[in-house]
Amino acid sequence: MPAVTDNGSGPDGSAPDGDAGKARAVPEAAVARLAVYLRVLTTMAEQGAVTVSSEELSAAAGVNSAKLRKDLSYLGSYGVRGVGYEVGVLTEEIERILGLTRQHKVAVAGIGNLGHALANYGGFPGRGFPVAALFDVDPDLIGVPVGGIAVSHLDDIPAVCAERQVSIGVIATPPGAAQVVCDRLVAGGVECILNFAPVVLHAPEHVQVRKVDLAVELQMLSFHVASRDAGNPADGGPVSVTSAGTGVLSRASSNGEVV
């Protein structure tokens, strides 16, 4: 879990008693929101913004300002009263805590419809995630360039990933092939895996695996619709559910914010 050293706790930059120099663990939910803040700040910078208030940033990110200030406190970053945050400085600090001060090369395994879309997506390189390798088993795809990168065979995953220093692997294969691909990515030195296959992967403890199941996400949305239609809960308030895989109690607000 990411951690940062707290450089101060108040508007004057002073450290809280007994906490000076201590590293603060950043909750996973806060990490996800920091990524959203970074996207918003990047857009603001492109539009020429120099400073931004917590109210402006929170509104653009879809969170409340108190939560935003709490999230930014993990960085030891504080705005100036009456002025707000410097867009450039805040962007750099969030990039630092998210590990975006260097590039992370990505490999995509499974060049079907989803794999093609990921390989051709132009937004990854600009955010520090250049696609460096593509893998499949279809003989008609081997050697064919997709997004400017020739597709290699799944058997070559360990060697290619090690040679190209891939740090993140994306699995977009059918479920039956996902575990084998995972094992080969690990053998190639990959320590972070994003899994789109609808199957639970088994990986060493040092390997971070995140699962993206679009069907589950749609089912969760269906749950919210069905609950509202049925008048559940009885008071008509928002429905609370535990986020899959995180154990975090989350609630969908009226604007879509997960809190």
Alpha helices in 16-86 (DSSP H): 28-46, 54-61, 65-73
DSSP 132-191: EEEEE--TTTBT-EETTEEEEEGGGHHHHHHHHT--EEEE-S-HHHHHHHHHHHHHTT--
Question: Would you say 141 is a known binding-site residue?
Answer: no
113 annotated as a binding-site residue: yes
DSSP annotation of 84: B
3-state secondary structure of 40: helix
Rounded distance between C-alpha atoms, residue 223 and residue 241, angstroms: 10
169 is in an annotated binding site: no
Q: How many residues does the chain have?
A: 259
Residue partners of 121: CB distance under 8 A and separation at least 6: 147
111 is in an annotated binding site: yes
82 is in an annotated binding site: no
CA distance 184 to 160: 10
107, 166 in Cβ contact below 8 A?
yes
- The set of residues, in sequence order, having a beta carbon less than 8 Å from that of 251 and lying 6+ positions away, is 238, 239, 240, 241, 258, 259
Is 115 annotated in some ligand binding site?
yes
Q: Show binding-site residues for NAD(+).
A: 110-115
Binding site listing: 110-115
